[in-house]
Amino acid sequence: MPGSKLSVVVTRRLPEAVETRLKELFDVELNDKDIPFSPEQLVAAMQRADVLVPTLNDNIDARVLAQAGERLRLIANYGSGFDHIDVQTARQRGILVSNTPGVLTDDTADMTLALILTVMRRFKEGSNLMQSGDWTGWSPSALLGSRLGGKRLGILGMGRIGSAVAQRARPFGMQIHYHNRKRVHPDTEAALEATYWESLDQMLSRVDILSINCPHTPSTFHLLNARRLKLLKPTAFVVNTSRGEVIDENAFTRMLRAGDLAGAGLDVFEKGHEINPRLRGLDNVMLLPHMGSATEEGRLEMGEKVIINIKTFADGHRPPDQVVPAML
């Protein structure tokens, strides 16, 4: 679309610098109130825009896409994950989809390690004790956690983020084990001193901490079902900063409450912002509100990628971060 100024609708508030740049380049409609669009508002936005900039809260399924009209040509997602978008239906309707891969790797890996430290060393319980004013002084037997050094860290999904988690865990003396759809390059394995497990079941039964770093796809939905969760040792910890749907949350919650797992650090949940109430109140569970990408630098870089994708499309070229069938 060279020479034309695209109409762009953004569904949520973005960093001010990103919104300013969008306004300079395109005919932009911003969501100043930052209230999530209803399904009806989302459909209306898609009918009046050339480009939609949604976030993970916007469920763009086949039903919504069927009402999009003829104008919409690009969905420039503000985020790396795109399981909330029916990419196949969008392609069938001639709508391109792009995302923002790579920019959140370090931020998410940092937080993954922070959650591992938090649950293994019982930092949440210690903080709660101090905040409540109930601490009566140091005791040699109080709040004993687990040392990271020598523990086996199992990584489910050795992509960008999984590899970055492994790089951070090695200096703590952790042993790296991983299961992935494909074995990583031998040089990467050697650098991380990582052990590959073709069988997920076998890896689960041997690790002390499980870090979930794989995307949500039809093949990974409830990949950690009740049967597989029971393969973990009762002393094992689970950290999930990827997608909540990978775990059968009901089975997982039952095991945590029964003491069949040592603890968990969770930044994502099976039903989005609807948290299983039985997870709340557990001292050995750290819950975070999807903070994996919550750094100023990361959110700015996401916005920059969105702008590049739209600008490239406006110039008549394929967006550099277009989601293609090979990624699905």
pLDDT tens digit sequence for 197-225: 999 999 999 999 999 999 988 899 999 99
Q: Using alpha carbons only, what angle is made at residue 292 by residues 286 and 298, rounded to the nearest 5 degrees?
A: 155
60 shares a domain with 164 = no
* 35 assigned to some structural domain: yes
119 shares a domain with 97 = no
138 shares a domain with 22 = no
The two structure tokens encoding residue 228 = 């597989």
Confidence band of 3 (pLDDT split at 50, 70, 90): low
Q: Tell me: pLDDT of 4 over 70.
A: no
With contact defined as beta carbons under 8 Å apart, do 183 and 158 qualify? no
139 shares a domain with 280 = yes
CA distance 44 to 78: 19
Summarised one tens digit per residue, pLDDT across range 75-92 is 999 999 898 999 999 999
CA distance 153 to 194: 10
| Average model confidence (pLDDT) across the chain | 95
Q: For the chain, how many structural domains are there in total?
A: 2
* 131 assigned to some structural domain: yes
With contact defined as beta carbons under 8 Å apart, do 239 and 113 qualify? no
**Percent of the chain whose pLDDT exceeds 90:** 92
Which residues constitute the domain of residue 49? 7-103+295-327
The two structure tokens encoding residue 145 = 């956690």
pLDDT, position 328: 45
Task: Determine the distance from the C-alpha atom of residue 246 to the mean position of all C-alpha atoms in its chain, rounded to a whole number.
Answer: 11
| Cβ-based neighbour number of residue 1 at 10 Å | 13
Whole-structure pTM value = 0.89
* 1 assigned to some structural domain: no
Confidence band of 238 (pLDDT split at 50, 70, 90): very high
Summarised one tens digit per residue, pLDDT across range 291-320 is 998 999 999 999 999 999 999 999 999 999
| Cβ-based neighbour number of residue 266 at 10 Å | 24
270 shares a domain with 162 = yes
Instruction: Identify the DSSP state of 68.
Output: S
* 31 assigned to some structural domain: yes
Q: Tell me: pLDDT of 139 over 50.
A: yes
The two structure tokens encoding residue 34 = 């930052």
